[in-house]
């Protein structure tokens, strides 16, 4: 009886083991056959290209919106070339829309097709390491490690004789980071569409903090109310479009708040590095730490302590929709 049962189990076992073996053999053979006939396909070639290609990063921010610190965190690290404010000399107090140049200070625009397209062309050229012009001294001074060769060269030679140092350092960098203040989200949409190497970090800050900082710096022309209106409107339009871009370009668009970076600098720096696929080191994290030690928390939220109610009321008057879309509180 037991013997019989044992035999049946044994046969069953042998049968199932052999069918598993045959099945595995069959899978293996079809794999061999497939790889034998498989031609390298376009998609896989592009994938490998993608992984060795450079990454272009655009930090989109507002003047006095925390972009100096964040630009430093992103641009002063290894294997990275930092392009500081490439559009500064294209339009000192304006920003570019598809067919307009608008004032950063007043709610005013003028029609132009040529200037915005020149700005876009210039940005694309910069990411290809074609960098020259009147912006170079500032880029060198703010550019950090990636501009050291150029800085050394310009100590003894004319700037134009040193441009090779820029090109060389830029071309060997995997990451090319640019901080840009003079754009609209409309133009960011166009750039994301045109450049598949591009990733965008959208740095937000409470507009009351931005305005307070601009006022302290004497940057609110013609007056603080007009400047608040202009900022609130631009920010609202930018943010509406950013919500769409965030959905369309999930892996290439990151929205981040300056206040969050100030509160938790290490955590949020890592978030940005991960977004870029930048392999940060202990040294980078130490840099972030020392950079945010001079109490960035204080700087980001300083205006809440001073609390100029007149100025806050100006911003509140025009920014209601902006607060809603960004999640900043209506009342402080």
Q: How far is the CB of 118 from ligand NAG (least distance, A)?
A: 7
Q: Cβ(322)–Cβ(239) under 8 Å?
A: yes
Indicate the residue among 33 and 121 with the shorter CB distance to ligand NAG.
121
Residues that bind ligand NAG (CB under 6 A): 121-122, 125, 130, 215, 224, 293, 295, 297-298, 308, 310-311
What is the secondary structure of 218-274 as a DSSP string? T---S-HHHHHHHHHHHHHHHHHHHHHHHHHTTTTEEEEEHHHHHHSHHHHHHHHHH
Indicate the residue among 201 and 311 with the shorter CB distance to ligand NAG.
311
Q: How far is the CB of 60 from ligand NAG (least distance, A)?
A: 20
Indicate the residue among 30 and 171 with the shorter CB distance to ligand NAG.
171
Q: How far is the CB of 174 from ligand NAG (least distance, A)?
A: 21
Closest CA to 173 of 78, 74, 295, 101: 78
Q: How far is the CB of 295 from ligand NAG (least distance, A)?
A: 4
Q: Which two tokens stand for residue 13?
A: 């076992």
Interatomic CA distance for residues 256 and 162, integer angstroms: 36
Interatomic CA distance for residues 174 and 53, integer angstroms: 7
Indicate the residue among 99 and 263 with the shorter CB distance to ligand NAG.
263
Indicate the residue among 205 and 252 with the shorter CB distance to ligand NAG.
205
Q: What is the number of the residue whose Cβ is closest to ligand NAG?
A: 224
Interatomic CA distance for residues 37 and 289, integer angstroms: 54
Give the bridge partners for 94, in sequence order: 103
Q: How far is the CB of 287 from ligand NAG (least distance, A)?
A: 15
């Amino acid at each position: 009886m037991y013997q019989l049962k044992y035999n049946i189990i044994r046969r069953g076992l042998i049968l199932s083991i052999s069918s598993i073996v045959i099945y595995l053999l069959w899978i293996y053979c079809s794999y061999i056959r497939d790889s034998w006939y498989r031609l390298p396909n376009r998609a896989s070639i592009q994938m490998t290209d993608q992984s060795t290609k450079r990454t272009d990063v655009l930090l989109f921010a507002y003047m006095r919106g925390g972009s100096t610190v964040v630009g430093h965190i992103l641009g002063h690290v290894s294997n990275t070339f930092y392009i500081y404010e490439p559009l500064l000399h294209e339009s000192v107090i304006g920003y570019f829309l598809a067919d307009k140049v608008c004032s950063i200070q007043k709610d005013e625009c003028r029609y132009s097709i040529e200037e915005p397209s020149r700005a876009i062309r210039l940005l694309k050229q910069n990411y290809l390491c074609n960098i020259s012009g009147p912006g170079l001294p500032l880029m060198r001074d703010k550019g950090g490690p990636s501009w050291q060769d150029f800085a050394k060269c310009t100590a003894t030679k004319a700037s134009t004789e040193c441009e090779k140092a820029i090109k060389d350092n830029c071309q060997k960098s995997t990451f090319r980071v640019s901080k840009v203040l003079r754009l609209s989200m409309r133009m960011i949409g166009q750039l994301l569409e045109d450049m598949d190497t591009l990733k965008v970090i959208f740095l937000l800050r409470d507009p009351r903090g931005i305005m307070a900082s601009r006022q302290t710096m004497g940057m609110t022309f013609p007056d603080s109310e007009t400047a608040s209106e202009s900022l609130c409107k631009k920010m609202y339009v930018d943010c509406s479009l950013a919500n769409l871009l965030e959905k369309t370009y999930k892996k290439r668009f990151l929205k981040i708040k300056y206040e969050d970076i100030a509160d938790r600098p290490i955590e949020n720096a890592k978030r940005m590095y991960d977004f870029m696929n930048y392999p940060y080191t202990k040294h980078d994290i130490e840099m972030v730490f020392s950079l945010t030690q001079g109490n960035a928390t204080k700087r980001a939220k300083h205006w809440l302590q001073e609390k100029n109610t007149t100025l806050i009321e100006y911003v509140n008057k025009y920014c209601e929709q902006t607060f809603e879309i960004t999640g900043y509180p209506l009342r402080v």
